[in-house]
């Protein structure tokens, strides 16, 4: 009986989005952004040499068609190689967002049916009624930041004041998010998670996609975020791939923040941790997942550690590490398994600003032969996984298998 492993390389875009001009970073349109292409070019030109060296080495994903997908999406032939041994294509998103929920929901068969709410780039960025509600839920007289900003910058700017006052640090970005940072010792991790859970319904009613708990530790000048992040996402309004599989009797195992992204919709089991720990979970699930199972994984550190921080070398190192992990998995797949590698948006580390970039994403499939899929939609990924597992596709896409 078939199994499916759907693995999202968070933010590994391949350029070429036809509507990139409608999305912005610091007022500059995303036209020309190309996460993978620009990383590969920088590596080839010797501009990504910290902790690694030379051209980008991702032989296992190249063999599945990563270079071919990059060229199809954006015309860049920087990872050209032999004839791909897998199915490969480039997927285009239709949802009006370049964030995690938009990409994942559509990959799971549900284009976002509304426009997300985004906060203005002003100080304060949040309406007074929301600020009052957050203060009441936190039990504090005030809030810190209340603006747009990068998480690590927020800690540098407001971390010391947070230790002194105990007030939570509240901020947002170009995504539809409301983020709350607090010190695990000074404020308390459980208190932070309770705060986020309490205010999340208010934000969801506003059509804000996620409330994110951002716990951190350390002292001024040496603050660092911990792995205890939690995302409180708005629930999908219709059944998605995880529900289809669960409803057909298959087991659905989320790896990484999948359960958070879908508000645990259709998830039987969740395994979390660092990306290194997630790769270990994926390895064990190749051996342990039952027949009919869907393993749905998200590797977030491409995005959170390297893309947002515009770290070329770090992103290249992460891609090469991930490729080695996938290379170790491929020979262990069973005859009836499907492994699908894809992404949810871009986050070009060469680009202006610190936000996601609007891009097409690769779709690479192992276990169902070889060939070109062409230009497809995000929802076609869900339809294809459903077809492989023999469950009904209740979404917007069509199977390419």
222-276 residue pLDDT tens:
999 999 999 999 999 999 999 999 999 999 999 999 999 999 999 999 999 999 9
Is the CB of residue 69 less than 8 Å from the CB of residue 363?
yes
121 is in an annotated binding site: no
Q: Could you read off the pLDDT of 204-232 as tens digits, one per residue? A: 999 999 999 999 999 999 999 999 999 99
Closest of 168, 169, 171, 178 to residue 116, by C-alpha: 178
Q: Is 204 annotated as a binding residue?
A: no
Peptide bond into 226 cis (omega under 30): no
Q: Please, which pLDDT band fits residue 151 given cuts at 50, 70 and 90?
A: confident
CA–CA dist 73, 381 (Å, integer):
16
The response to whether 10 counts as a known ligand-binding position is yes
Hey, is 371 helix, strand or coil?
strand
CA distance 22 to 30: 8
Q: Tell me the pairing of strands 177-183 and 210-217.
A: parallel
**CA–CA distance, 363 with 91 (Å, rounded to integer):** 7
Q: Is the pLDDT of residue 148 over 90?
A: yes
303 assigned to a ligand binding site: yes
80 has pLDDT over 90 = no
What is the rounded distance in angstroms from the CA atom of residue 255 to the CA atom of residue 13? 20
Q: What is the pLDDT of residues 128-138, one digit of tens each?
A: 999 999 999 99
How does DSSP classify residue 6? E
**pTM listed for this prediction:** 0.93
Q: Quick check: 373 pLDDT over 90? A: yes
């Amino acid at each position: 009986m078939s199994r499916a492993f759907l693995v999202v390389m968070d933010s590994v875009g391949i350029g070429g989005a036809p509507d990139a001009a409608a999305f912005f970073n610091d007022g500059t349109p995303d036209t020309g952004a190309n996460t993978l292409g620009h990383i590969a070019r920088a590596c080839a030109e010797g501009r990504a040499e910290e902790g690694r060296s030379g051209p980008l080495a991702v032989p296992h994903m190249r063999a599945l068609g990563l270079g071919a997908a990059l060229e199809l999406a954006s015309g860049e032939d920087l990872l050209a190689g032999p004839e791909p041994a897998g199915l490969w294509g480039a997927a285009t998103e239709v949802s009006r967002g370049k964030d995690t929920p938009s990409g994942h929901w559509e990959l799971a068969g549900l284009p976002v049916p509304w426009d997300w709410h985004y906060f203005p780039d002003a100080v304060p960025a949040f309406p007074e009624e929301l600020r009052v509600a957050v203060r009441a839920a936190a039990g504090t007289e005030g809030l810190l930041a209340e603006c747009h900003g990068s998480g690590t910058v927020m800690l540098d700017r407001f971390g010391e004041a947070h230790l002194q006052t105990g007030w939570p640090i509240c901020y947002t970005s170009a995504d539809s998010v409301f983020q709350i940072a607090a010190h695990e010792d000074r404020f308390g991790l459980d208190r932070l998670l309770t705060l986020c859970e309490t205010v999340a319904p208010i934000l969801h009613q506003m059509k804000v996609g996620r409330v994110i708990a951002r716990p951190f530790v350390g002292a001024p000048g040496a603050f660092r975020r911990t792995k205890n992040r939690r995302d409180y996402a708005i629930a999908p309004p219709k059944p998605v791939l995880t529900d289809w599989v669960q409803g057909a009797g298959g087991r659905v195992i989320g790896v990484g923040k999948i359960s958070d992204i879908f508000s645990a919709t259709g998830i039987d089991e969740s395994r979390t941790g660092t990306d290194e720990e997630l790769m270990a979970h994926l390895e064990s699930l190749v051996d342990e997942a039952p027949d009919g199972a869907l393993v749905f994984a998200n590797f977030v550190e491409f995005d959170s550690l390297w893309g947002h921080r515009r770290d070329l070398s770090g992103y290249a190192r992460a891609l090469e590490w991930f490729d080695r992990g996938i290379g170790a998995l491929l020979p262990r797949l069973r005859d009836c398994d499907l492994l699908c590698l894809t992404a949810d948006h871009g986050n070009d580390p060469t680009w202006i600003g610190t936000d996601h970039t609007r891009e097409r994403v690769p779709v690479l499939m192992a276990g169902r032969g070889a060939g070109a899929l062409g230009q497809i939609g995000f929802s076609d990924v869900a339809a294809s996984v459903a077809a492989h597992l023999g469950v009904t596709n209740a979404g917007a896409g069509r199977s390419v298998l």
